[in-house]
Amino acid sequence: MEEVGVVRDGIVVFSGGSAANAISDVFETLGKECGSAVTYLIGVSDNGGSTSEIIRMIGGPGIGDIRSRLVRLIPEPKNGGRIRTQKAQENIRDMMSLRLDQLDQDLAAHEFEQLCAGAHELWLHVESERKELIRNIFITMQAEILKRTRYPSSRFNFCNASVGNLFLTGARLFTGSLESAIWLMRKACNIPDEVAEVWPVISRNFTSHIAAELENGDVIIGQNDISHPSKEDEETKSLLYTEDFYAPEDEREDANWPGSHKRLKGGDIVFDKNNDKQLDSRIERVFYVNPYGHEVRHRASQKVVDALDSARVVVYSIGSFWTSLIPTVLPHPTPGLLSLPSILAKIFLLNNSLDREVSPHEPTPYRASTFLIQLAKQLHYCLPLTHSQSRDNVDFTPELHVKLFVTHVFVMDEVEWHRDEQDCEALRRLGVKRVVIKGVEDGKGGWGYDLRGLEGALRGIYEEELKIV
């Protein structure tokens, strides 16, 4: 029950990592101008790239998207300050953004050893108190890796490792808490307290995996295989035990539990983010699974509940729909909180292109209304049931349920499929306001939201809802 007199002025952004980084300045500016707290709620189901090797060897949540947003929030050095202080801030930002050698394991491992020893060139100008804090977190991570190494059967692969990921994991191991690790990284990187908060949707020391059930009944295990698989011949797997279930385990000793599903064991360091090979069938739903591939339900962290309890505006940001957005809104009690009318504006930012996750694109490709219906459907079926209800008798009606979770959708008329006339009519039937934002060329042959136009539209909605109250 909502408390009387509670001021709801927060801005909550559900997002992934790299895609939403391009527009994060908009939310920062909006928060400052409106005097509102901005909170990013980010998923922890990533299991590809540098994160996958950490999961394989150390375990724990997928922190790549969290690290990406924190690095994006590291402030630029202030002009007019001491040169040494400016250089220190630049070096810390470069350090947390650093990727180790992509091809040579020994070179990559040596560079991390240089960071641990305090001999790396990026330590130049960094204050001694900050240097020793960060360096000891690196040493904590290095010590954990060495304890778990069983040469030659199990060795940590430093190739292309994100130093920011190594720091965040080391901080989690040191404090025993992912949220504390985030706080420590903010302090180490001089991210001011007034800058937006960044929290995981699930706060735990265990790995959280997802799977996707396709309309044809197939199931894809693991976020990386859903969005950009590294091994095409293994991208679709059943949740049921396969014929090789009784085959001997491999000899590597790592953080995976015995009997773990082989597509969830990590190690997918190299993958193709541009893999646009279409799925055999559309995704019906996404859900969380345990290490054995069995469906589980997770509870959202208290930070998520607190942020939504004080939110005036919620933004479903750009990024991969099924693997970045949907996993962030599924944990209980997020769906119920998002359905409340006390959140006055619930804004969906439409992507500029259709990726592999929403394929196949023929004969009827995704449109804005398709995204909204799928979002509302996933949320609706995660709402708590009363004693008299069952999943079979809780019917989903788009015209009734979409507007519970989405009030506005932002589009760009420069993107052809954004201005589909039939889709515009479908949005009107759903009761969702269509807001057109000017598009600007992104330099990659596509379009992106004009940041000034996006900020103006968000501010207009925020202030309009403020007048209604």
Cβ-contact 348, 311 below 8 angstroms: no
CA distances from 53 to 46, 56, 57, 149, 183 (A): 11, 5, 6, 13, 24
The ranges assigned to domains in the chain are 10-43+299-468, 75-190
CATH topology assigned to domain 10-43+299-468: Rossmann fold (3.40.50)
Distance CA 119, CA 114 (A): 5
Q: Nearest to residue 40, comparing CAs of 49, 27, 51, 52?
A: 27
Query: What's the predicted TM-score (pTM) here?
Result: 0.92
Q: How many CB atoms lie within 10 A of CB 415?
A: 16
Helices (H) and strands (E) in the chain, counts: 17, 13
- Write down the pLDDT at residue 257: 80
What CA–CA distances, in Å, run from 65 to 13, 136, 311, 384? 14, 23, 22, 29
Q: Where are the alpha helices (DSSP H) in 339-408?
A: 368-380, 398-405
CA dist., res. 31 & res. 113, Å (int): 40
Using alpha carbons, select from 72, 157, 166 the residue that is nearest to residue 116: 166
What pLDDT does residue 391 have? Answer: 52
Give Rg (Cα) of the chain: 23
Angstrom distance (rounded) from CA 37 to CA 9: 7
243-282: burial string, b at 16+ Cβ within 10 Å, e else? eeeeeeeeeeebbbeeebbbbbbbbbbebeeeeeeebeeb
Instruction: Give residue 243's pLDDT.
Output: 41
Task: Report the C-alpha gap between 427 and 172 in whole angstroms.
Answer: 44
pLDDT, averaged in runs of 10, over the chain (469 residues): 62 90 94 92 92 93 96 84 84 97 95 98 96 98 94 86 98 97 97 94 95 96 86 46 48 76 74 74 96 94 97 96 97 96 96 94 94 97 65 77 97 94 97 96 90 96 66
State the Cα–Cα distance between residues 306 and 346, nearest whole angstrom. 17
- Residues 6+ away with beta carbon under 8 Å from 390: none
- For residues 85 and 282, is the Cβ–Cβ distance under 8 A? no
Question: For the chain, how far is it from start to end, CA to CA, in angstroms?
Answer: 19
- φ and ψ at residue 306, rounded to 5 degrees: -65, -40
Q: The tokens of 392 are what?
A: 């079979």
CB contact set of 397 (below 8 Å; sequence gap of 6+): none
CA distance 13 to 23: 11
- Any idea which residue has 């769906």 for tokens? 335
Per-residue tokens: 371: 């995204």
CB 200 within 8 A of CB 44: yes
